Structure 1
Amino acid sequence: MTTEPRSSLEVERKYDVGDEASVPDWSLLPGVATVGAAEPRELDARYLDTADGRLAAALTALRRRTGGPDEGWHVKRSTPEGKLETHWPLDDADEAAPPDVPDAIVAELAEVAQPPFEVIARIRNSRTAFALLDAAGDLVAEFVDDRVTATDERSGRTSSWREWELELGPAAPASAAGVAELFAAADELVASAGGAPAASESKLGRALGR
């Protein structure tokens, strides 16, 4: 793998919702003028860790995901500001099952964990994504409606659920107060649809029962 990785900071809010919940009118959010067309995505991710959970202990997740505009390898680190994600695209040789972790990613994780890595969960997700745009057509946030099926590969336990996620984009409010106002408005819209802030902070955590 020779391609240079890309890094970004994810600032997002996740919500638990029922199977029959109706998607809110996101144009009611502060700064949102229009909502883009629905974009379906079929995602299939395998999450890896060491046998003794070194990555989880370091608040880090490693996955290989196919489908969607950012398919590839991802390393996610939890920070006080949000989740710092580093992404590498897939290459032609990257087809092993379970997947072999590329050397570049092994080096990226060297300070917190060493191989071997094993698959701990598989998460498949039928996602519908919507771009929330301001009056200039710039991305304030992306909203996704996820229907998830997960397998804990160590125990064999399977689970399924629906969740919503709102992730800030480049045209999101620049101030902490503006971000808080946007998320507060989103919380109200979700509550009106019968949803609530997610009980688990990540899909992987929920798949593993934590």
Structure 2
Amino acid sequence: MTAVRIEREIERKYDAAADFALPDLTGLPGALGEPEVQRLDATYFDTTDLRLAARGITLRRRTGGTDAGWHLKFPVGRGVKEEIRLPLGRAAKTVPKELAGLVRAYTRGRALRPIARIETTRTLRRLLDAQGNPLAEIADDAVTGQALDRTEPVAWHELEVELTAGEPGLLDLLDERVRAAGASPAGSGSKLLRLLDHR
């Protein structure tokens, strides 16, 4: 049986200029770890009429980074998503039946197909506690995306600040720092929705 993982994702997203620099985080809980560069390649799946995207649901197959695999995300509140993960498997263009079943109430018999590809060069920094465990992650993302029914790619720069094991107030402290450095709250709740806004 395929191993399914369910996690609660608590994060804030920001739009940022291409030359955005992470501000000094001195005084916040934890110590800032060394930067880690990841290259992520994600294919997103939906129905032709985008029934999942209309509800803020994203379904993707992503390679690269530390969590390669199939990811299905449901919004459950502001800045909070429930994420269901499966290993990559062999099939790159067929959604695993476990995930297809979870969105059947939304797709209502419509086929799931690739609708977009998004490539990200991510510079990841972690705030670590005294034992080296991550309290929060700050992902500085240079993104290029293309809807598969369009010929022109779209590029942008964004930040994702995700709480891992820290107290919820840590997100507020990080929010103050990154906004003071020039980032602004993202206009879209996900990379896919931002890309589709350009269609």
Structure 1 position 132 matched with structure 2 position 123: no
Structure 1 position 164 matched with structure 2 position 165: no
What are the ranges of 5 or more consecutive residues in structure 2 without an aligned counterpart?
Answer: none
- One-letter identity of the residue aligned with 1:3: T
2:84 to 79, 83, 86: 86
C-alpha distance after superposition, 1:9-43 (max 9, x if no partner): 100011111111211223433x22x1111111100
Match of 2:190 in 1: 202
Match of 1:43 in 2: 40
**TM-score of the pair, normalised by structure 2:** 0.91
User: How many residues were matched structurally?
Assistant: 196
Q: Give matches, 1:23-102, under 5 Å.
A: 23-29=22-28, 31-32=29-30, 34-80=31-77, 82-91=80-89, 93-95=90-92, 99-102=93-96
Conserved 8 A contact 2:163-2:171: no
Match of 1:112 in 2: 106
What are the ranges of 5 or more consecutive residues in structure 1 without an aligned counterpart?
Answer: 174-178
Match of 1:192 in 2: 180
Cα RMSD (Å): 1.7
| Distance (whole Å) between structure 2 residues aligned to residue 131 and residue 188 of structure 1 | 17
| Distance (whole Å) between structure 2 residues aligned to residue 191 and residue 58 of structure 1 | 28
In structure 2, the CA distance between the partners of 1:136 and 1:111, relative to structure 1 (3 Å rule), is same
Identity of aligned residues (%): 40
| Distance (whole Å) between structure 2 residues aligned to residue 197 and residue 57 of structure 1 | 21
